Amino acid sequence: MFGNHDLESGNAAEITAILTDAGVRVLDGDGVEIQGVGFAGVKGFAGGFGARALQSWGEDVMKRFVREAVDEALKLEAALARLTTEQRVAVLHYAPIRDTVATEPPEIIPFLGSSRLEEPLNRYHVIAAFHGHSHGGSPEGRTTTGVPVYNVALPVLKREFPDRPPFRLLEIPVSTETPVPAGAVR
């Protein structure tokens, strides 16, 4: 799953080949199982959140914009549906909920994610979702059904956890209980 910096070059296929040759699995609408945990990944897309999300009507360019958001949500849903594991994790570039982007300037919030990505997370009982893209956002939020969503954009990690390396570790329990960030008090 790529983000805007990866796609800016116009060489996504070449980047994918280099990463694949190095043993990295690039998820773009597909999934992988690692030690009993299923990971589904998509880029996602923009469009806004909730009742204020952009709708598909009017000019063709707006319809294509919304179609991209819908297509990415459908790719996520299909990837999650194909996983046979009980424990599922979603990896995204764009945010699936407003909470992790709410601290950004209001003018750019609709360009940081889409609530269309939230529905598959809730339907397939994802135990956690990770996204980037929102450099000024909040580190954590939850979907309407309580799925934890983590914003792992590098600037967020450096700001929120200045005394730690810039990554998140998540303990995934053997049971289906909600995962707990490593080091957190239960």
CATH number of the domain that residue 164 is part of: 3.30.750
Does residue 6 sit within a domain? no
**Which pair of structure tokens corresponds to residue 160?**
């929120």
pLDDT at 161 over 90: yes
pTM of the model as a whole: 0.88
Does residue 19 sit within a domain? no
- What average pLDDT does range 37-46 have in this prediction? 96
How many domains are there within the chain?
1
| φ and ψ at residue 89, rounded to 5 degrees | -125, 135
What mean pLDDT value characterizes the chain?
90
Give the pLDDT confidence score for residue 92 in this predicted structure: 97
The alpha carbon torsion through 133, 136, 141, 147 (nearest 10 deg) reads 10
CB 14, CB 143: distance < 8 Å: no
pLDDT at 180 over 80: no
Give the pLDDT confidence score for residue 186 in this predicted structure: 45
Strand partners, 91: 41, 130
> CA neighbours within 13 Å on the CB side: how many for 59?
4
Does residue 16 sit within a domain? no
> Among 3-12, 33-42, 44-53, 87-96, which is the least confidently predicted range?
3-12
Does residue 1 sit within a domain? no
Range(s) of the domain holding residue 148 = 27-181
Does residue 167 sit within a domain? yes
Give the pLDDT confidence score for residue 87 in this predicted structure: 95
Does residue 9 sit within a domain? no
Does residue 8 sit within a domain? no
**Which pair of structure tokens corresponds to residue 155?**
């600037």
CB 92, CB 151: distance < 8 Å: no
Does residue 14 sit within a domain? no
183 vs 53, higher pLDDT: 53
